[in-house]
Amino acid sequence: MNLALHTKIVKETATLLGFDFCGIANATFLKEDAQRLETWLNKGMHGNMSYMQNHFDLRTNPTKLVPGAKSVITLLINYYPTLSQNNDAPKISKYAYGKDYHEIIREKLNKFFLILKEKIGDIHGRGFVDSAPVLERAWAQKSGLGWIGKNGNLINKKQGSFFFIASLITDLQLVADEAGIKDYCGTCTKCIDECPTEAILPNKVVDGSKCISYFTIELKDALIPDKMKGKFDNWLFGCDVCQDVCPWNSFAKPTTDKAFEPVSSILDFTKKDWEEVTEEKFKIIFSKSPLKRSKFDGIKRNLQFLQ
């Protein structure tokens, strides 16, 4: 069958479903990324995120996830919000302003694959959005959607880094996009200089065990280490400092996807509201929010640590 036609169908379907960018790469072993990941893990920069050590071969070889895989389709969807939080409130990462992106994007991926099957035929594959050991940023870079910045985020030259990344690994042979986009970070070190916990190191290495997002979301311990006291810059859930100071995010455009519109409760909550919220109310308000990942006890722990 016509590779160019199939590739055109993939790109058109991505646009139809509301994805902002779509890139395609050949499903091959990520040798250099495997070496970087191994070094990062050996240095303990994953902290207590033990799951990062699991399924190493799956993370670096897409054919282990999808037997017979030939192409990795990477999709970006903008989540940059139209509104911002109450200035006095503990801060929430922008990606968590709206509904849980996992559910929204998973539904889009399911539709994506159904459309491809209808238009192309009997193909196989799997869609992923933070749901499996996939190096999304590496595949995004490999498919020409941007470069990996010094803060570890994928940066797109047209719109910056406020994107969710999803992957569709399939046995469908497609025309791969040109990889190797130039690194436009240059000599800029704003993300390194402004990181409150000095988690961003030279040579595009981020020590995950020092990141505010790690402590406020990933860390499940009852207490946050005292050595981090006074370094969180009022971040209650996640952290956007390295993205907020990035010059490329001056090109960020507000999302047009209604599913990612901010939940009014998150924007309007004051410090007092956070202090007084009950577990029952928390579960009701944030039932479809990424904040439920930290759970009520985690949010209360983070709030107490900020005081």
DSSP labels for the chain?
A: --HHHHHHHHHHHHHHTT-SEEEEEE----HHHHHHHHHHHHTTTTTT-GGGGTTHHHHH-HHHHSTT--EEEEEEEE---SS---TTSPEE-GGGSSS-HHHHHHHHHHHHHHHHHHHH-S--EEEESSSSS--HHHHHHHTTS-EE-TTS-EEBTTTBT-EEEEEEEES---PPPP-------TT--HHHHH-TT--EETTTEE-GGG-HHIIIII--SSS--GGGTT-STTEEE---HHHHT-GGGGG------GGGSPPHHHHH--HHHHHH--HHHHHHHTTTSGGGGTHHHHHHHHHHHH-
Q: What is the mean pLDDT of residues 88-114?
A: 94
Q: What is the mean pLDDT of residues 182-194?
A: 96
Question: pTM for this structure?
Answer: 0.93
Query: Which tops the pLDDT comparison, 101 or 42?
Result: 101
pLDDT for 191-214, tens place per residue?
999 999 999 998 889 999 999 999
Quick check: is 221 catalytic?
no
> Among residues 228, 208, 238, which one has the least CA distance to residue 298?
238
Residues 207, 195: Cα–Cα separation, whole Å: 11
pLDDT for 277-287, tens place per residue?
999 999 999 99
Contact 208, 49 (CB under 8 A): yes
According to the model, what pLDDT value does residue 207 have?
94
Q: What is the mean pLDDT of residues 170-181?
A: 91
According to the model, what pLDDT value does residue 39 have?
85
Residue 34's identity, in one-letter code, is A
Task: Specify the range with the lowest mean pLDDT, choosing from 43-52, 133-142, 182-191.
Answer: 43-52
Task: Specify the range with the lowest mean pLDDT, choosing from 32-36, 108-112, 189-193.
Answer: 32-36
CA dihedral 75, 97, 50, 141 (to 10 degrees): 30
20, 100, 130, 171: the active-site residue? 130
pLDDT for 47-100, tens place per residue?
877 667 676 777 889 998 899 999 999 999 999 998 989 778 999 999 999 999
According to the model, what pLDDT value does residue 53 have?
66
Give the whole-number percent of the chain exceeding pLDDT 70: 97
According to the model, what pLDDT value does residue 184 have?
95
CA-based end-to-end distance of the chain: 63
